[in-house]
Protein backbone atom coordinates (compact mmCIF):
# COMPACT_ATOMS: atom_id res chain seq x y z
CA UNK A 1 0.00 0.00 0.00
CA UNK A 2 1.38 3.43 -0.96
CA UNK A 3 1.02 6.35 1.46
CA UNK A 4 2.87 8.90 -0.65
CA UNK A 5 1.15 12.05 -1.93
CA UNK A 6 -0.18 11.77 -5.46
CA UNK A 7 1.85 13.40 -8.19
CA UNK A 8 0.82 16.58 -9.99
CA UNK A 9 1.64 16.58 -13.69
CA UNK A 10 4.45 19.09 -14.36
CA UNK A 11 2.88 20.70 -17.44
CA UNK A 12 -0.58 19.35 -18.19
CA UNK A 13 -3.44 21.71 -17.34
CA UNK A 14 -7.21 21.61 -17.67
CA UNK A 15 -10.07 23.97 -16.94
CA UNK A 16 -12.26 23.28 -13.93
CA UNK A 17 -15.99 24.04 -13.59
CA UNK A 18 -15.18 27.69 -12.89
CA UNK A 19 -13.05 28.08 -16.02
CA UNK A 20 -9.76 28.33 -14.12
CA UNK A 21 -6.72 26.41 -15.36
CA UNK A 22 -5.55 23.86 -12.78
CA UNK A 23 -2.78 21.25 -12.96
CA UNK A 24 -3.72 17.66 -13.73
CA UNK A 25 -3.73 15.44 -10.64
CA UNK A 26 -2.33 11.96 -11.31
CA UNK A 27 -3.38 8.79 -9.52
CA UNK A 28 0.15 7.78 -8.43
CA UNK A 29 3.20 9.18 -6.64
CA UNK A 30 6.70 9.93 -7.98
CA UNK A 31 7.94 6.43 -7.21
CA UNK A 32 5.08 4.70 -9.05
CA UNK A 33 5.18 6.76 -12.25
CA UNK A 34 5.69 4.52 -15.30
CA UNK A 35 6.97 7.13 -17.74
CA UNK A 36 9.42 10.03 -17.41
CA UNK A 37 7.85 13.31 -16.28
CA UNK A 38 10.72 15.69 -16.92
CA UNK A 39 9.48 19.29 -16.41
CA UNK A 40 11.81 20.47 -19.20
CA UNK A 41 10.03 18.22 -21.76
CA UNK A 42 13.31 16.79 -23.05
CA UNK A 43 11.46 13.90 -24.68
CA UNK A 44 8.68 15.95 -26.26
CA UNK A 45 5.60 13.77 -26.78
CA UNK A 46 7.64 10.56 -26.71
CA UNK A 47 6.97 8.31 -23.71
CA UNK A 48 10.17 7.09 -22.07
CA UNK A 49 9.77 4.31 -19.54
CA UNK A 50 11.27 4.71 -16.05
CA UNK A 51 13.57 1.76 -15.31
CA UNK A 52 14.46 2.66 -11.72
CA UNK A 53 11.72 4.22 -9.51
CA UNK A 54 12.93 7.49 -7.98
CA UNK A 55 11.72 10.57 -6.08
CA UNK A 56 11.72 12.75 -9.23
CA UNK A 57 9.73 10.47 -11.58
CA UNK A 58 12.54 10.68 -14.15
CA UNK A 59 14.08 8.22 -16.57
CA UNK A 60 17.74 7.27 -16.07
CA UNK A 61 18.98 9.82 -18.62
CA UNK A 62 17.08 12.77 -17.12
CA UNK A 63 18.00 11.68 -13.59
CA UNK A 64 21.72 11.71 -14.46
CA UNK A 65 21.36 15.18 -16.00
CA UNK A 66 19.67 16.45 -12.84
CA UNK A 67 21.64 14.67 -10.09
CA UNK A 68 24.93 13.96 -11.90
CA UNK A 69 24.62 10.30 -10.95
CA UNK A 70 22.40 7.33 -11.85
CA UNK A 71 19.30 6.68 -9.72
CA UNK A 72 19.80 4.27 -6.80
CA UNK A 73 18.40 0.79 -7.28
CA UNK A 74 15.53 0.27 -4.83
CA UNK A 75 14.32 -3.17 -3.69
CA UNK A 76 10.89 -4.04 -5.09
CA UNK A 77 9.19 -4.06 -1.69
CA UNK A 78 11.25 -1.27 -0.08
CA UNK A 79 9.99 1.77 -1.99
CA UNK A 80 9.78 4.80 0.37
CA UNK A 81 6.27 5.53 1.61
CA UNK A 82 4.92 2.03 1.03
CA UNK A 83 3.72 -0.43 3.65
CA UNK A 84 2.67 -4.04 3.46
CA UNK A 85 -1.13 -4.29 3.46
CA UNK A 86 -2.67 -6.59 6.08
CA UNK A 87 -4.67 -9.52 4.75
CA UNK A 88 -8.26 -9.95 5.84
CA UNK A 89 -8.95 -13.31 7.41
CA UNK A 90 -12.72 -12.84 7.22
CA UNK A 91 -15.39 -13.15 9.92
CA UNK A 92 -15.18 -11.05 13.05
CA UNK A 93 -11.70 -9.77 12.23
CA UNK A 94 -12.90 -8.28 8.95
CA UNK A 95 -15.88 -6.67 10.69
CA UNK A 96 -13.67 -5.20 13.37
CA UNK A 97 -11.45 -3.63 10.70
CA UNK A 98 -14.48 -2.10 9.01
CA UNK A 99 -15.69 -0.77 12.34
CA UNK A 100 -12.29 0.75 13.07
CA UNK A 101 -12.24 2.37 9.63
CA UNK A 102 -15.68 3.87 10.22
CA UNK A 103 -14.63 5.21 13.60
CA UNK A 104 -11.64 6.87 11.97
CA UNK A 105 -13.83 8.55 9.39
CA UNK A 106 -12.99 6.28 6.44
CA UNK A 107 -15.62 4.43 4.45
CA UNK A 108 -15.73 0.62 4.26
CA UNK A 109 -13.24 0.61 1.38
CA UNK A 110 -10.67 2.52 3.42
CA UNK A 111 -10.89 5.62 1.21
CA UNK A 112 -10.14 9.01 2.71
CA UNK A 113 -12.87 11.56 3.35
CA UNK A 114 -13.19 14.89 5.15
CA UNK A 115 -13.74 13.19 8.53
CA UNK A 116 -10.74 10.84 8.34
CA UNK A 117 -8.24 11.17 11.18
CA UNK A 118 -4.55 11.92 10.69
CA UNK A 119 -2.57 8.67 10.52
CA UNK A 120 0.60 10.12 12.10
CA UNK A 121 2.31 7.62 14.40
CA UNK A 122 4.79 8.43 17.15
CA UNK A 123 8.41 7.35 16.82
CA UNK A 124 9.29 5.57 20.06
CA UNK A 125 12.95 6.42 19.56
CA UNK A 126 12.09 10.11 20.00
CA UNK A 127 11.33 10.84 23.66
CA UNK A 128 9.13 13.88 22.92
CA UNK A 129 6.81 11.77 20.74
CA UNK A 130 6.26 8.88 23.14
CA UNK A 131 2.65 8.48 24.24
CA UNK A 132 1.36 10.98 21.66
CA UNK A 133 -1.28 10.49 18.99
CA UNK A 134 -3.01 12.91 16.64
CA UNK A 135 -6.75 13.62 16.70
CA UNK A 136 -6.80 16.16 13.86
CA UNK A 137 -8.70 15.55 10.64
CA UNK A 138 -6.81 14.99 7.41
CA UNK A 139 -5.64 17.97 5.38
CA UNK A 140 -6.93 18.90 1.92
CA UNK A 141 -4.51 20.75 -0.33
CA UNK A 142 -6.03 24.14 -1.23
CA UNK A 143 -4.34 24.03 -4.63
CA UNK A 144 -4.76 20.44 -5.86
CA UNK A 145 -7.86 19.69 -3.70
CA UNK A 146 -6.36 16.29 -2.86
CA UNK A 147 -6.80 14.79 0.61
CA UNK A 148 -3.61 13.85 2.44
CA UNK A 149 -3.36 11.05 4.99
CA UNK A 150 -2.02 13.46 7.61
CA UNK A 151 -3.23 16.73 9.12
CA UNK A 152 -1.72 20.15 8.38
CA UNK A 153 0.77 19.71 11.25
CA UNK A 154 2.07 16.33 10.11
CA UNK A 155 2.30 16.51 6.32
CA UNK A 156 5.96 16.52 5.33
CA UNK A 157 5.72 18.25 1.93
CA UNK A 158 4.33 21.69 1.09
CA UNK A 159 0.71 21.66 -0.12
CA UNK A 160 1.46 24.26 -2.82
CA UNK A 161 2.83 23.42 -6.25
CA UNK A 162 6.57 23.79 -6.88
CA UNK A 163 7.65 24.30 -10.47
CA UNK A 164 10.67 21.97 -10.34
CA UNK A 165 9.04 19.37 -8.02
CA UNK A 166 12.28 19.24 -6.02
CA UNK A 167 11.49 17.27 -2.80
CA UNK A 168 14.15 19.20 -0.85
CA UNK A 169 12.36 22.49 -1.57
CA UNK A 170 8.91 21.03 -0.87
CA UNK A 171 9.95 19.66 2.54
CA UNK A 172 8.26 21.40 5.50
CA UNK A 173 11.06 22.38 7.88
CA UNK A 174 8.77 24.07 10.44
CA UNK A 175 5.34 22.40 10.92
CA UNK A 176 2.49 24.91 10.75
CA UNK A 177 -1.32 25.12 10.55
CA UNK A 178 -1.20 26.04 6.84
CA UNK A 179 0.77 23.00 5.62
CA UNK A 180 3.28 25.26 3.86
CA UNK A 181 7.04 25.22 3.38
CA UNK A 182 8.92 28.17 4.85
CA UNK A 183 9.19 29.96 1.48
CA UNK A 184 5.44 29.80 0.76
CA UNK A 185 4.60 30.73 4.37
CA UNK A 186 6.82 33.82 4.19
CA UNK A 187 5.29 34.71 0.81
CA UNK A 188 1.80 34.53 2.32
CA UNK A 189 2.32 36.03 5.80
CA UNK A 190 5.54 38.04 5.47
CA UNK A 191 7.35 36.08 8.19
CA UNK A 192 8.39 32.48 8.88
CA UNK A 193 6.10 30.26 10.97
CA UNK A 194 6.61 30.08 14.73
CA UNK A 195 8.43 27.00 15.97
CA UNK A 196 6.23 25.00 18.34
CA UNK A 197 7.30 22.20 20.64
CA UNK A 198 5.40 18.94 20.82
CA UNK A 199 2.56 18.32 21.30
CA UNK A 200 1.15 20.32 18.36
CA UNK A 201 -2.49 21.54 18.45
CA UNK A 202 -4.89 18.61 18.24
CA UNK A 203 -2.41 16.03 19.51
CA UNK A 204 -3.41 13.79 22.42
CA UNK A 205 -1.27 12.30 25.17
CA UNK A 206 -2.12 8.97 26.74
CA UNK A 207 -3.56 9.32 30.24
CA UNK A 208 -0.98 7.04 31.85
CA UNK A 209 1.83 9.21 30.48
CA UNK A 210 0.18 12.36 31.85
CA UNK A 211 -0.21 10.72 35.28
CA UNK A 212 3.42 9.55 35.19
CA UNK A 213 4.66 13.09 34.43
CA UNK A 214 2.59 14.59 37.26
CA UNK A 215 3.87 11.93 39.66
CA UNK A 216 7.47 12.64 38.65
CA UNK A 217 6.92 16.38 39.17
CA UNK A 218 5.44 15.78 42.63
CA UNK A 219 8.30 13.48 43.60
CA UNK A 220 10.87 16.01 42.41
CA UNK A 221 9.53 18.54 44.95
CA UNK A 222 9.94 16.13 47.91
CA UNK A 223 13.38 16.82 49.48
CA UNK A 224 15.60 13.84 50.14
CA UNK A 225 16.66 12.93 53.73
CA UNK A 226 20.21 14.09 52.97
CA UNK A 227 18.95 17.51 51.79
CA UNK A 228 16.86 17.87 54.97
CA UNK A 229 19.86 17.03 57.11
CA UNK A 230 22.04 19.63 55.34
CA UNK A 231 19.32 22.26 55.77
CA UNK A 232 19.07 21.56 59.51
CA UNK A 233 22.86 21.76 59.90
CA UNK A 234 22.98 25.12 58.12
CA UNK A 235 20.15 26.47 60.29
CA UNK A 236 21.84 25.24 63.47
CA UNK A 237 25.16 26.81 62.38
CA UNK A 238 23.51 30.19 61.75
CA UNK A 239 21.79 30.06 65.15
CA UNK A 240 25.09 29.23 66.87
CA UNK A 241 26.84 32.18 65.17
CA UNK A 242 24.05 34.56 66.23
CA UNK A 243 24.22 33.38 69.85
CA UNK A 244 28.02 33.80 69.93
CA UNK A 245 27.74 37.38 68.64
CA UNK A 246 25.14 38.27 71.24
List pLDDT tens digits, range 127-153.
888 889 999 999 988 887 888 889 999
Q: At residue 106, does pLDDT exceed 50?
A: no
- 244 pLDDT more than 80: no
CA distance 244 to 240: 6
Please check the confidence at residue 213 and state whether its pLDDT lies above 70.
no
- Average pLDDT for residues 70-91, to the nearest whole number? 69
Instruction: Work out the mean pLDDT of the chain and round it to a whole number.
Output: 79
User: How many whole angstroms separate alpha carbon 48 and alpha carbon 30?
Assistant: 15
- CB neighbours of 142 closer than 8 A, spacing ≥ 6? 159, 160
The more confident residue out of 235 and 220 is 235
pLDDT for 136 equals: 94
Instruction: Determine the pLDDT at residue 93.
Output: 43
Which whole number is the average pLDDT over 23-29? 83
172: pLDDT confidence band, cut at 50, 70 and 90?
A: very high
Asked if 157 and 224 touch (Cβ cutoff 8 Å), the reply is no
With cut-offs at 50, 70 and 90, classify the pLDDT of residue 108: very low
pLDDT at residue 1, rounded to an integer: 77
Using CA atoms, how far residue 128 sits from 45, 201, 209, in Å, is: 50, 15, 11
Which of 34-43, 160-169, 187-196 has the least mean pLDDT?
160-169
Mean pLDDT over residues 66-79, rounded?
83
176-195 burial, b if ≥16 CB within 10 A, otherwise e?
bebbbbbebbeeeeeeebee
Amino acid sequence: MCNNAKLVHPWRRYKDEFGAEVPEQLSYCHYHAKFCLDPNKNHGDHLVKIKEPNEYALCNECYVQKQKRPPPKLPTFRIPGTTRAARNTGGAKSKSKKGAAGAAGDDTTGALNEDSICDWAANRRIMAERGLSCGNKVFRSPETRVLCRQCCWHITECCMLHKDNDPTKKRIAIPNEQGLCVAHYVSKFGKPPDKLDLPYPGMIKRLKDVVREKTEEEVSFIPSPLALRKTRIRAATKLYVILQIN
